[in-house]
Amino acid sequence: MPLKGVGVAVLGGDARQVIVAKELHRQGVSVKTFGLFSKELNGIEQCRSLELLFQNVQALVLPMPGINEEGEVYTVFSKSPIMLSEAVMCLAQKGLIIYVGVAKPRLKGLSRNIGAKIVELAEIDELAILNSIPTAEGALKIAIEKTPFTIHGSPVFVLGFGRTGLTLARVVSSLGAKTTVAARNEQQLARAYEMGLATIHINDLPDYVSQAKIIFNTIPALVLTKNVLREVSRNCLIVDLASAPGGTDFNIAKKMGIEAILAPGLPGKAAPQTAGFMVARVVSRLLKEEVTNWSLQYGGACSES
């Protein structure tokens, strides 16, 4: 079903959100923005207040990081904080759908109170796989800039073999790195082995990690602990791609003289245009699926409790 006339609010964010707003607008969506400042948004309604933004919209696209526990929206464009409240969100049409990368408890609570539906984009395989491409390229860029040696011929460890780990291991291996995958899941290890990569169980990491000159971590749990780090070469570079606080004990790494970089959210930093197109692609597909489920009688503000 076409998206023409569907009302969507695009709130805050970074360069990715600009692309999302433009792409949805191109598809006929009635797009309104707030907290985005770009010449590329010519022809798209840029609201002067949150109250205007939420009037007569059926969907809200938040930045991938969403909002923090104080209700502040992630944005790089606005000098003043943007605070999301239940009162403002209630101005949207009933059945509001919220698209966000990761929904923190605060957002879940606000959405539950007004009966809105949350769609966490980071949990959708399609987007996670697409995002693994700029993530791998961004991680590779960091490694190249931070090391005095080539990736080719270097022992590289990739911790985790999910959607990002798989793409990253394939990329560094294609450059000639001596790639080792460390994971817990036996099926993932079997897949890595089938790809011609060396494999170890994550529990055995302390026995092998001294070989690594570069370690990429994709596991969102503390895996590079003190016990593991004491086996890591002092000349090794750690690039941690997991969401904050990452999977590395950064204080211990610093004390040991190991360079460890926390680098979450690389798609928006390394390739915001591509990442924005990817988000827009997934959101537009999901919107088309949802449009048929919206009842025509939904309209106006939330009823007062």
Domains in the chain, start-ordered, CATH in brackets?
A: 7-123+271-291 (3.40.50.720), 132-267 (3.40.50.720)
**3-state SS class at 55:** coil
Closest C-alpha to 54, from 32, 29, 27, 76: 32
pLDDT at 298: 45
Q: Compute the CA torsion angle 139, 145, 150, 155 (nearest 10 deg).
A: -50
Cβ-based neighbours of 233, under 8 Å, separated by 6 or more: 210, 212, 213
Show pLDDT as tens, one digit a residue, over the chain (305 residues): 478 889 999 999 999 999 999 999 999 999 999 999 888 898 899 999 999 999 989 999 999 999 999 999 999 988 899 999 999 998 888 889 999 999 999 999 999 999 999 999 989 999 999 999 999 999 999 999 999 999 999 999 999 999 999 999 999 999 999 999 999 999 999 999 999 999 999 999 999 999 999 999 999 999 999 999 999 999 999 999 998 899 999 999 999 999 999 998 899 888 999 999 999 999 999 998 887 665 444 444 444 44
Give the strand pairing for 237-240 and 97-100: unpaired
pLDDT at 292: 66
Question: What is the C-alpha separation between 30 and 223, in angstroms, rounded?
Answer: 45
| Residue 245, preceding peptide bond in cis (omega within 30° of 0) | yes
> What is residue 69's DSSP assignment?
T
pLDDT at 278: 95
pLDDT at 293: 62
